[in-house]
């Protein structure tokens, strides 16, 4: 298991206070990494920080809003000052709001794209600079099934996640000479606070389960292995790729 070992490495997680970000933070801690946990409010990171500390990780919570670029730069600086280096970025922070496309206004479009795409790019840029100085690293972007398929009433979100997949591939090619790998994870249907509105609809649940070959929705722990793989030397020759963790959804289309 040494290829998956993250001991001695520093991981920055954006959107680490809940849901997928919290689950991935714990996965990094269990693999031996030191953690820099980012969220808009440090107080919101308390539960994640406690769980990661209990798993044996050294933890630094930071105030990080990916729509405020200086806070990204501050978080990266704090990571290198505290731990001496930054090796991995889990680019997870994101927002979603379901709305018919004819009702999407500029404010909603900007809020989603500024967080999911613009914010993700500048987080990658700041982390990438630190990784270049340190001799390399791994960036894992949190894509989506909407990076690859169309979902009605999720046009801004799907646009942001499609752009994120394109960004993943472009950065992978550009930054390969610096030893920086850039990959993505595309979760399928996972129930989190952000997606809970879908799961409140029993008919929707029944319809979606019928389209998932494994016959169940994802559990957050289902994402841990892929994140550890992409963050570690186990994926040393892999860049510019996107792993869909979706119970077979895309394969069945």
The residue among 155, 241, 168, 247 whose CA lies nearest residue 210 is 247
Sheet holding 137-142, edge to edge: 59-63, 34-39, 10-13, 88-91, 137-142, 180-187, 242-245
- Helices (H) and strands (E) counted in the chain, each on its own, are 9, 7
Between 19-30 and 46-54, two packed helices, what is the crossing angle to 10 degrees? 20
Which residues on neighbouring strands pair with residue 88, listed in sequence order?
11, 138
Catalytic residue among 157, 189, 199, 237: 157
Question: C-alpha 29: how far from its chain's center?
Answer: 16
Residue identified by tokens 């206070």 is 17
- For the question of residue 189 being annotated catalytic, the response is no
Give the list of residues 6+ apart from residue 180 with CB closer than 8 angstroms, or none: 128, 131, 132, 136, 137, 138, 139, 171
Task: Tell me the catalytic residues.
Answer: 157
């Amino acid at each position: 298991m040494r290829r998956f070992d993250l001991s001695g490495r520093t991981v920055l997680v954006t959107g680490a206070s809940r849901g997928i970000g919290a689950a991935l933070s714990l996965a990094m801690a269990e693999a031996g990494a030191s953690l820099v946990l980012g969220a808009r409010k440090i107080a919101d990171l308390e539960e994640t920080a406690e769980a990661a500390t209990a798993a044996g990780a050294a933890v630094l919570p930071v105030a990080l809003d990916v729509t405020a670029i200086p806070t990204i730069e501050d978080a990266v600086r704090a990571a290198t000052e505290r731990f001496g280096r930054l090796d991995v970025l889990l680019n997870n922070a994101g927002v979603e709001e379901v709305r018919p496309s004819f009702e999407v206004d500029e404010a909603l479009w900007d809020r989603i794209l500024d967080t999911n795409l613009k914010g993700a790019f500048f987080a990658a840029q700041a982390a990438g600079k630190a990784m270049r100085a340190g001799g390399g690293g791994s960036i894992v972007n949190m894509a989506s099934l909407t990076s690859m398929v169309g979902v009605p009433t999720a046009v801004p979100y799907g646009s942001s996640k499609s752009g994120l997949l394109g960004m993943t591939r472009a950065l992978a090619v550009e930054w390969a000479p610096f030893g920086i790998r850039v990959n993505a994870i595309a979760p399928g249907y996972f129930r989190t606070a952000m997606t809970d509105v879908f799961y409140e609809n029993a008919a929707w649940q029944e319809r979606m389960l019928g389209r998932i070959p494994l016959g169940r929705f994802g559990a957050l722990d289902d994402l841990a292995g892929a994140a550890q793989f992409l963050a570690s030397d186990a994926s040393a020759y892999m860049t510019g790729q996107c792993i869909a963790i979706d119970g077979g959804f895309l394969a069945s289309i």
